[in-house]
Chains A and B, each alone.
Chain A
Amino acid sequence: MRFDTVIIGGGLAGLTTGISLREAGCSTAIVSTGQNALHFFSGCFESLQEPPQRMLDLFAGAGVPLHFEEGVRLMPLGTFRPAALALEDIDLLPEPRFADKVLVVGIAGFQDFFPGFLCDGLEKAGMKCRSVQLELPELEKLRVSPSEMRSVQVARTLDRIWGKVLRETKRLLMDEDAVVLPQVFGLQDASVPDFIRRGLPVRVVFAGTLPPSVPGIRTQMLLKRRYEELGGTFLAGDEVVSAQVFGDEVLSVATRNLGSHCLEAGSFLLASGAYFSKGLKASPLDITEPVFGLDVEHAADRGAWYDPDFNADQPYLRFGVRTDASLRALRAGRPLANLYAAGSVLGATRPEFGTGAGLAVRSAFAAVDEILRRCAPQDDK
């Protein structure tokens, strides 16, 4: 199988690249192991001060509306953090005190939302607070198995009965002028949070839960749907296991499911994530990139990988694959001519792209430009 570009990784960086290249008419394949950082997405693009127009267009095209407004967001443990660009479910507040009296609505039996912490934080910010628990018999069968009462399972049920939650919340409202609800709405449909906002007579703020992140999973599904609607190939549940390299050219990669049917391409993008996603692999002696054996910038001494202070910036999170000015990955000090890297596999080696979701999107767009510059798209019909 031959494509213009093969993308390793189906997270934010991989999907951004895939959609952009499809829109430019390139043939593409994405190889995705399944889970990626979008499943733990806070909903906020932390390191992006100013959203590039092409990013807003891309997300809008996928049905993922973003909004931009400098302010703060309410964190699940009741603290506030600066925020500017976020998914529409994440409220960007001009200041922490967004109301006089707030009703925090939890769901009975759902342990991954923290009304106690939220009320404390809101009260510290000068608001009066009351918290209630919704008893939803529809969730009873989830409760039978205690481990099923997680955000995504709750969201799946609430996708059917969110109207009822709306009515119940309205009934419980006394003199409050704002409601805080958990981010467990609209797993399949991005418009549900907005329906809830418009259905309540007071301000609605959604606060996060423990992962998995419902807005993050929805974003991943919508971006993937958009990519596939554009005709991109998405190999889900597969994993690149090895690469064939000749001189400084990557010829093909082999995946676990395709066996001897290698994926050939003119260019390759490595968007395989950091440690959690196995884009980087740490052993007691070394930190490596497992597919191509690329150069990984890291401290040689294991003792220097960590800061004993949990709260400090951890050195190991800065380590990443080395690249040249055009984001081509280096192996034994020399760039591979047609292998680009984007997203958190870069660690903090390219600080100009930022961190987290911002790094994923910005480095992906930069890689797209390099890939398009290198080879004009061929007609894939």
Chain B
Amino acid sequence: MNTEEFDVIIIGGGITGAGTQRDCAMRGLRTLLIERSDIATGATGRNHGLLHSGARYAVNDPESAAECIRENKILRQIAAQCIEPTDGLFITLPEDDLGYQKTFVEACRRAGIGAEIIDPGLARQLEPSVNPDLTGAVRVPDGSVDPFRLCTANMLDAKLHGGQVRLQTEVTGFIREGDTIRGVHTRNVRTGREEDFYAPVTVNACGIWGQRIARLAGVEIGMFPSKGALLIFAHRINNMVINRCRKPANADILVPGDTVCVIGTTSTRIPFEECDRVAVTPDEVDLLISEGAKLSPALSSTRILRAYAGVRPLVSADDDPSGRNISRGIVCLDHDGRDGLKGFITITGGKLMTYRLMAEMATDAVCRKLGVDKRCATATTPLPALVEETAGKGALICECENVTAGKVDQAIDRLEVSTLTDLRRRTRVGMGTCQGGLCACRAADHLAQANGCVERERADLADFMQERWKGNFPIGWGDMLREAEYTQWVYKHVLGL
């Protein structure tokens, strides 16, 4: 029935999958993206939101550094609505070796990254929140990027180019003819409905879960799940990204974004079984706060909003147990040459920063297989902006993040929203200081009306509050615990959830 409906099937609704679908669709291919839960649920939505200049990798991984700065410049042009060009500082503290600064700046220059040594006094002036004890500072073109918005914009543009998307749809197996992948078996995780889709090429863009998908297709990729924990603060205390000028270590990047800032990260190897339920431990929280306060002392007295963790999709190359020395480089595997399996490509490794390049590499590989000769245009074609339609619907659903009823309804209408968590990723509902305490039930009311099912929405609201709590209790003290007590009271005793 669905035979040859598509030219390419992309599995994975993170930034890599969304970017690959956009690129394929822009080159005239008929595309289908399949995602087992929602867009940006994996590492895409669980990182710093840092627009790397590449400086962090300049000394140890010049290749990644060069990729980063090239993509940095491109994203500023094509995704301006998702980016804040804040610039960044690499600071040297009294306990750090100031000699490293020279090595660092030289490596940056070799990679093509504009790195300028500035006087610590000037650094304090540019970034008043920086640790005043700094002994050295280098200014680099870092920035911040909103990964949810970036992912949504890619998905929207793919749609505008005829792309189709199936969210909440799990790939349960591959349709195989001899040594060729012809399509996928899928199952809707909500309705249980099973459906087959056919295409001459399938792209595996599942991040760390790509290993599982590859195995389902009968090929092995040795992947390396590396957990990174982060804390998000309720205030934006810095205007520039602040990094430590030393070899990359734990909790040495503080990124501002919208009205908040994020400190991270850690790097811990975890077993594959834990990828679906990563949790932040009290030790990680304590480490992030104490190390973060070295970058900016105000962190130690700033309210924390959430703790969260993502899993880096690193492809294992050596036996380094920490995962830090493995290249963040892009891995694009054509399984025909590698494993003798036709019609199957894996795109993995890489970073949020290099998603466009990854998409280009994957799409080039797809086009080669299909015999399509069309050049990539994503480096020069701006992503569409989503204009908010609030006419007559200016009532606020979420005061913390300034989300109007109009914006909520628009997301429900146009951006494939079936749960409050989906809505949060697209509108920021529930991401502010109240963490859903006030806005979740208002938004639930809108969703219930749109979906016509209050019963399902009641369960969804309960799931949403559970999901918010998961990121709150690891940092449950001070104002966060006050908010949590209030939310417990309201939902259990006042509203009667």
Chain A positions 29-52 with a Cβ under 8 Å from a chain B Cβ: 37, 40, 42, 46
Q: With A117-B445, A282-B478 in contact, is A40–B496 under 8 Å at CB? A: no
Instruction: Please name all residues of chain B whose beta carbon is closer than 8 Å to the beta carbon of A185 when the two chains form the complex.
Output: none
Q: Contact mask A75-108 → B, CB, 8 Å, 1/0?
A: 1111111000000000000000000000000000
Instruction: Please name all residues of chain A whose beta carbon is closer than 8 Å to the beta carbon of B486 when the two chains form the complex.
Output: 40, 276
A120 close to B395 (CB less than 8 A) = no
B490 close to A147 (CB less than 8 A) = no
| Nearest CB of chain B from residue A9's CB, rounded to whole Å | 15
B481 close to A275 (CB less than 8 A) = yes
Chain B residue with Cβ nearest A123: B454
Which of A75, A147, A275, A282 is in CB contact (< 8 Å) with B495?
A75
Does A317 have its Cβ within 8 Å of any Cβ on chain B? Answer: yes
User: Which of A61-69, A160-168, A298-306 lies at the interface with chain B?
Assistant: A298-306
Instruction: Please name all residues of chain A whose beta carbon is closer than 8 Å to the beta carbon of B282 when the two chains form the complex.
Output: 302-303
Does B325 have its Cβ within 8 Å of any Cβ on chain A? Answer: no
Instruction: Please name all residues of chain B whose beta carbon is closer than 8 Å to the beta carbon of A284 when the two chains form the complex.
Output: 285-286, 289, 477
Instruction: Please name all residues of chain A whose beta carbon is closer than 8 Å to the beta carbon of B394 when the two chains form the complex.
Output: 143, 146
Instruction: Please name all residues of chain B whose beta carbon is closer than 8 Å to the beta carbon of A211 when the two chains form the complex.
Output: 490, 494
Complex formed: what's the CA distance from A81 to B485 in Å?
20
Q: Contact mask A135-162 → B, CB, 8 Å, 1/0?
A: 0000000010011010000000000000
Q: With A40-B494, A284-B286 in contact, is A112–B442 under 8 Å at CB? A: yes
A210 close to B438 (CB less than 8 A) = yes
Number of B residues contacting the other chain (C-beta, 8 Å)?
48
| Nearest CB of chain B from residue A84's CB, rounded to whole Å | 15
B441 close to A309 (CB less than 8 A) = no
| Nearest CB of chain B from residue A348's CB, rounded to whole Å | 13
Q: Contact mask A312-329 → B, CB, 8 Å, 1/0?
A: 001011000000000000
Q: With A78-B454, A116-B449 in contact, is A149–B395 under 8 Å at CB? A: yes
A76 close to B477 (CB less than 8 A) = no
Does B322 have its Cβ within 8 Å of any Cβ on chain A? Answer: no
B485 close to A275 (CB less than 8 A) = yes
| Nearest CB of chain B from residue A373's CB, rounded to whole Å | 33
Complex formed: what's the CA distance from A237 to B12 in Å?
54
A81 close to B496 (CB less than 8 A) = yes
Instruction: Please name all residues of chain A whose beta carbon is closer than 8 Å to the beta carbon of B442 when the two chains form the complex.
Output: 111-112, 210
B478 close to A77 (CB less than 8 A) = no
B445 close to A79 (CB less than 8 A) = no
Chain A residue with Cβ nearest B289: A284
Does B405 have its Cβ within 8 Å of any Cβ on chain A? Answer: yes
A146 close to B396 (CB less than 8 A) = yes
B405 close to A111 (CB less than 8 A) = yes
Q: With A210-B441, A302-B282 in contact, is A40–B462 under 8 Å at CB? A: no
Which of A117, A143, A308 is in CB contact (< 8 Å) with B395?
A143
Chain A residue with Cβ nearest B486: A276
Complex formed: what's the CA distance from A308 to B484 in Å?
12
Instruction: Please name all residues of chain A whose beta carbon is closer than 8 Å to the beta carbon of B399 when the two chains form the complex.
Output: 147
DSSP class of A's interface residues: helix, strand, loop or mixed?
A: loop
B454 close to A116 (CB less than 8 A) = yes
Does B448 have its Cβ within 8 Å of any Cβ on chain A? Answer: yes
Q: With A109-B395, A275-B481 in contact, is A76–B404 under 8 Å at CB? A: no
Chain B positions 17-31 with a Cβ under 8 Å from a chain A Cβ: none
Complex formed: what's the CA distance from A37 to B482 in Å?
12
Complex formed: what's the CA distance from A112 to B478 in Å?
27
Q: Contact mask B384-420 → A, CB, 8 Å, 1/0?
A: 0000000000111101000011000000000000000
Chain B residue with Cβ nearest A208: B494
Does A18 have its Cβ within 8 Å of any Cβ on chain B? Answer: no
B395 close to A146 (CB less than 8 A) = yes
Complex formed: what's the CA distance from A112 to B395 in Å?
11
Instruction: Please name all residues of chain B whose beta carbon is closer than 8 Å to the beta carbon of A208 when the two chains form the complex.
Output: 494-495
Does B272 have its Cβ within 8 Å of any Cβ on chain A? Answer: no
Instruction: Please name all residues of chain A whose beta carbon is closer than 8 Å to the beta carbon of B221 when the two chains form the complex.
Output: none
Instruction: Please name all residues of chain B whose beta carbon is closer than 8 Å to the beta carbon of A302 when the two chains form the complex.
Output: 282, 476-477
Chain A residue with Cβ nearest B283: A303
Does A310 have its Cβ within 8 Å of any Cβ on chain B? Answer: yes
B445 close to A120 (CB less than 8 A) = no
Which of B404, B454, B497 is in CB contact (< 8 Å) with A120?
B454
Most B CB within 10 A of own CB, among A37, A117, A211: A117
Q: With A210-B490, A274-B485 in contact, is A306–B454 under 8 Å at CB? A: no
Chain A residue with Cβ nearest B466: A310
Complex formed: what's the CA distance from A135 to B409 in Å?
21
Does A311 have its Cβ within 8 Å of any Cβ on chain B? Answer: yes
Complex formed: what's the CA distance from A348 to B325 in Å?
50
Which of A274, A308, A311 is in CB contact (< 8 Å) with B462?
A311
Instruction: Please name all residues of chain B whose beta carbon is closer than 8 Å to the beta carbon of A210 when the two chains form the complex.
Output: 438, 441-442, 490, 494-495
Does B465 have its Cβ within 8 Å of any Cβ on chain A? Answer: yes
Does A363 have its Cβ within 8 Å of any Cβ on chain B? Answer: no
Does A338 have its Cβ within 8 Å of any Cβ on chain B? Answer: no
Complex formed: what's the CA distance from A378 to B493 in Å?
41
A114 close to B496 (CB less than 8 A) = no
Does B488 have its Cβ within 8 Å of any Cβ on chain A? Answer: yes
Chain B residue with Cβ nearest A143: B395
| Nearest CB of chain A from residue B455's CB, rounded to whole Å | 7
B469 close to A310 (CB less than 8 A) = yes
B470 close to A308 (CB less than 8 A) = yes
Does A186 have its Cβ within 8 Å of any Cβ on chain B? Answer: no
B497 close to A356 (CB less than 8 A) = no
Does A53 have its Cβ within 8 Å of any Cβ on chain B? Answer: no
Complex formed: what's the CA distance from A76 to B405 in Å?
20
B478 close to A76 (CB less than 8 A) = no
Q: With A120-B455, A275-B485, A317-B488 in contact, is A111–B397 under 8 Å at CB? A: yes
Instruction: Please name all residues of chain A whose beta carbon is closer than 8 Å to the beta carbon of B488 when the two chains form the complex.
Output: 314, 317
Chain A residue with Cβ nearest B488: A314
Q: Contact mask A227-240 → B, CB, 8 Å, 1/0?
A: 00000000000000
| Nearest CB of chain A from residue B132's CB, rounded to whole Å | 24
Which of A77, A274, A303, A317 is in CB contact (< 8 Å) with B458?
A77
Complex formed: what's the CA distance from A309 to B465 in Å?
10
A75 close to B496 (CB less than 8 A) = yes
A77 close to B496 (CB less than 8 A) = yes
Most B CB within 10 A of own CB, among A76, A109, A278, A282: A282
A308 close to B473 (CB less than 8 A) = yes
A147 close to B496 (CB less than 8 A) = no
Complex formed: what's the CA distance from A199 to B454 in Å?
32
Chain A positions 204-241 with a Cβ under 8 Å from a chain B Cβ: 208, 210-211, 213
B495 close to A308 (CB less than 8 A) = no
Instruction: Please name all residues of chain A whose beta carbon is closer than 8 Å to the beta carbon of B482 when the two chains form the complex.
Output: 275-276, 278
Instruction: Please name all residues of chain B whose beta carbon is closer than 8 Å to the beta carbon of A114 when the two chains form the complex.
Output: 441, 445
B476 close to A316 (CB less than 8 A) = yes
Complex formed: what's the CA distance from A79 to B495 in Å?
9
Chain A residue with Cβ nearest B493: A42
Chain B residue with Cβ nearest A213: B494
Most A CB within 10 A of own CB, among B466, B496, B497: B496
Instruction: Please name all residues of chain B whose beta carbon is closer than 8 Å to the beta carbon of A310 when the two chains form the complex.
Output: 462, 465-466, 468-469
B476 close to A305 (CB less than 8 A) = yes
Instruction: Please name all residues of chain B whose beta carbon is closer than 8 Å to the beta carbon of A119 when the two chains form the complex.
Output: 454
Chain B positions 439-468 with a Cβ under 8 Å from a chain A Cβ: 441-442, 444-445, 448-449, 454-455, 457-458, 461-462, 465-466, 468
| New contact pairs (10) apart from A149-B395, A282-B481, A311-B466, CB-CB < 8 Å | A81-B496, A112-B442, A117-B445, A276-B486, A282-B476, A283-B477, A302-B282, A310-B462, A310-B465, A314-B484
- Which are the 4 A-B pairs with shortest beta-carbon distances? A75-B496, A120-B454, A282-B477, A306-B473
Interface CB pairs A-B, < 8 A, 7:
A76-B495, A80-B496, A111-B442, A208-B495, A305-B473, A310-B466, A314-B484
